[in-house]
Amino acid sequence: MALMTSDMYIESLRKLNMEVYLLGEKIENPVDHPMIRPSLNSVAMTYKLAEQPEYEDLMTATSNLTGKKINRFTHLHQNPEDLSKKVKMQRLLGQKTASCFQRCVGMDAFNAVYSTTYEIDKKYGTEYFNRFVEFLKYVQEEDLTVDGAMTDTKGNRGLSPSKQADKDLFLRIVEKREDGIVVRGAKAHQTGMINSHEVLVMPTQTMREEDKDYAVCFSVPTDTKGIKIIYGRQSCDTRKLEGGSLDVGNPKFGGHEALVIFDDVFVPADRIFMCGEYDFSGILVERFAGYHRQSYGGCKVGVGDVLIGAAALAAEYNGVERASHIKDKIIEMTHLNETLYSCGLACSYEGYPTEAGNYEIDMLLANVCKQNVTRFPYEITRLAEDITGGLFVTMPSERDLEHPEIGRYVEKYLAAVEGVPTKTKMKVLRLVENLTLGTAAVGYRTESMHGAGSPQAQRIMISRQSDLNHKKQLAKDILDIKE
């Protein structure tokens, strides 16, 4: 098959039997649940755009494993052009959905696991690389969405995994069998898990020898026995249960996160890609983090484009679009947004081949990209709120607007400039609310801070990658300092 249509994708999820809980209830039909469906629509867009000829170059690629045309979200990067197309694809999808489209984590995990398993096999003579290649061929052929699961709940963060009072606070191997392993634990903040066919699990940090049971990487279907998915709350999320479309802000698209429990889950041997090789855990984590920090130079920029557009519309509907300070704020938003995009492209164009043959981004520039992402979207958000005005958080509801008695007052007193319907103005204000404070803020503002690692994680990597001794030598050479 190699490429699914968006309709085929949606129907494929109906065949899964995931154990999903939301607001304290077990959900029998996640596909059509009103709180979940907008996030599914966002993933479906990654399939829909791949069907359209005008986006074929960005959305598809030729597999180096099979030679077939595949969705770029299942691709192993073969050159700097592939890396840059990834960022451009992510910006496009951010523009089309104004939300998180959820397939990036799996794509970034593929590329990190591919090169790492190659190097593990080289050192230990294991079979992980070939296993992973066969798994990825299956993913590419079926055009699957794969959740990348790295973040453990961590418990007492001052203690290593094996020193925790509860040994399950980091996901671990609890039993080794001839035909596979049994794992127990949890993964937090799992983006798009309910909309995924498979979950690819990775260790969350560098492990030591005493923590080798936590150095595990594998993939299983998302409806495997023992996997329990607990849907995460988002601000304003129950508005999706009210009916109507105005108050949700983004009526079609969204994202979701989940706490995923692995309650003694069996993993067959052919799906195990790391099993105790603790000395490679940090390498895998850093590579995945690097790829994912590159991703934020695309997806966050696309959503930023929508927010900038919504703020400009709000100014226009309020009749202040020609004010010099409004123009200057929009210029600043654009400058910040394009700076993020420049970083995403820069680390891509400076990419280089791994031993396995796929391409890795420039780690220093990828971490600089994400460090900027922890700051600039907050300023873009502040400026959007400034331009839009306070009404976007005090406005009456859609039901008030449509009420037979009081609706006419809402219509009259919240009027926009002449020629623009009040409801149109209200839609734009709700979109700004959604992007800055509501459910989409999880995938834009808050995720900009914590996704792909906290700001300090990037600063640690920037320090490691900065090659300070080389810079000091440059100064010595200029001054003829000999030692």
Q: Which tokens in the block code for residue 267?
A: 């993993």
Q: Which tokens in the block code for residue 295?
A: 């991703």
Domain presence at residue 266: no
Whole-number pLDDT of residue 109: 98
Percentage of the residues of the chain whose pLDDT score is greater than 70: 100
- Decide: 414 and 426 in contact? Cβ < 8 Å: yes
DSSP assignments along 359-372, one per residue = EE--HHHHHHHHHH
With tokens 């803020």, the residue in question is 441
Q: Give the number of other CB atoms < 10 A from CB of residue 382.
A: 14
pLDDT tens for each residue of 31-62:
999 999 999 999 999 999 999 999 999 999 99
Q: Which tokens in the block code for residue 443?
A: 């995938």
Domain presence at residue 434: yes
What value, to the nearest 5°, has the Cα angle with vertex 439 and ends 436 and 444? 50
> What does the DSSP 8-state code read for residue 358?
S
Domain presence at residue 78: no
Answer whether residue 86 shows pLDDT above 90.
yes
CA–CA dist 65, 455 (Å, integer): 36
Answer whether residue 445 shows pLDDT above 90.
no
From the list 286, 385, 398, 447, the catalytic residue is 447
Number of residues that this document lists for the chain: 483
Domain that holds residue 399: 283-474
Domain presence at residue 54: no
Domain presence at residue 428: yes
pTM over 0.85: yes
CA–CA dist 253, 407 (Å, integer): 27
CA–CA dist 375, 192 (Å, integer): 24
Instruction: Establish whether 296 is a catalytic residue.
Output: yes
From the list 77, 117, 231, 257, the catalytic residue is 257
Q: How far is CA 12 from the centre of its chain?
A: 22
> What does the DSSP 8-state code read for residue 147?
E
From the list 47, 118, 296, 341, the catalytic residue is 296
Instruction: Establish whether 100 is a catalytic residue.
Output: yes
From the list 100, 217, 275, 343, the catalytic residue is 100
Domain presence at residue 131: no
Q: Sign of the C-alpha dihedral, residues 447, 19, 288, 462? A: positive
Domain presence at residue 86: no
Instruction: Establish whether 256 is a catalytic residue.
Output: no
CATH number of the domain where residue 463 is located: 1.20.140.10
**Three-class SS of residue 158?**
coil
Phi, psi of 230 (to 5 degrees): -110, 110
Helix or strand (DSSP H, E) at 351: none
Give the mean pLDDT of 70-92: 98
From the list 191, 204, 374, 381, the catalytic residue is 191
Answer whether residue 181 shows pLDDT above 80.
yes
Whole-number pLDDT of residue 442: 86
Helix or strand (DSSP H, E) at 294: helix 281-317
Q: How far is CA 452 from CA 37, 41, 162, 297, in A?
A: 25, 23, 24, 12
Give the mean pLDDT of 472-483: 95
CA–CA dist 421, 105 (Å, integer): 40
Whole-number pLDDT of residue 288: 98
Q: What is the total count of domains within the chain?
A: 1
Phi, psi of 10 (to 5 degrees): -60, -45
CA–CA dist 150, 450 (Å, integer): 13
Instruction: Establish whether 369 is a catalytic residue.
Output: no
Instruction: Establish whether 151 is a catalytic residue.
Output: no
CA–CA dist 62, 148 (Å, integer): 22
Instruction: Establish whether 257 is a catalytic residue.
Output: yes
Instruction: Establish whether 343 is a catalytic residue.
Output: no
**Who's near 31: CB < 8 A, 6+ residues apart?**
10, 13, 14, 37, 40
Domain presence at residue 300: yes
Q: Which tokens in the block code for residue 202?
A: 């990775």
Whole-number pLDDT of residue 2: 83
